[in-house]
């Protein structure tokens, strides 16, 4: 099992982008963007990381797990800081406690997405090498 820093970076970026975009809200209104759950965010980040890995589903799962966990940490830190600043310390610390559990569970969908992404990459590579009819 090998770490691929490029795959981890892409999975990290995908997780952060999807995580931040799903948490945006317009200030002083009740309008928010559609919320994407942490499971789907982890799967998307894992798919991106796994698709970059070319050494098999096990390495895709490992890199997806690491990429989505790091991305989840950054998103959680940002959300906790925003909650402390705008909602108060107590609510911010409550969000922090929930974020620890969510980060611990976010790696599982990331690993699944990483394995699936690696398998998709292998399948598309096999299609490219097949001669046209």
Question: What pTM, to 2 d.p., does this model score?
Answer: 0.76
What average pLDDT does the segment 59-81 reach? Answer: 86
10-37: pLDDT as tens digits: 988 998 888 777 765 555 555 555 556 7
- Residue 99 token pair: 């974020």
With a cut of 70, say whether residue 103 has pLDDT above it.
yes
Q: What is the dihedral of CA 20, 26, 29, 35, to 10 degrees?
A: -30
What average pLDDT does the segment 52-72 reach? Answer: 87
With a cut of 70, say whether residue 72 has pLDDT above it.
yes
**74 burial type by CB count under 10 A (0-12 exposed, 13-18 middle, 19+ buried):** middle
- 12-34 burial, b at 16+ Cβ within 10 Å, e below that, comes to bebbbbbbeebbeeeeeeeeeee
Residue labelled with tokens 């990381």: 49
With a cut of 60, say whether residue 124 has pLDDT above it.
yes
């Amino acid at each position: 099992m090998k770490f691929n820093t490029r795959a981890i970076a892409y999975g990290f970026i995908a997780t952060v982008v999807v995580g931040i975009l799903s948490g945006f809200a317009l200030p002083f209104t009740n309008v928010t963007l559609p919320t994407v759950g942490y499971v789907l965010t982890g799967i998307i980040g894992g798919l991106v990381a796994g698709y970059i890995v070319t050494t098999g589903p096990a390495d895709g799962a490992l890199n997806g797990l690491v990429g989505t966990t790091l991305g989840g940490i950054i998103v959680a830190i940002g959300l906790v800081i925003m909650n402390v600043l705008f909602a108060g310390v107590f609510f911010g610390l409550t969000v922090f406690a929930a974020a620890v559990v969510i980060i611990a569970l976010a790696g599982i969908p990331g690993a699944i997405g990483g394995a699936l992404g690696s398998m998709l990459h292998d399948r598309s590579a096999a299609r490219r090498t097949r001669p046209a009819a």
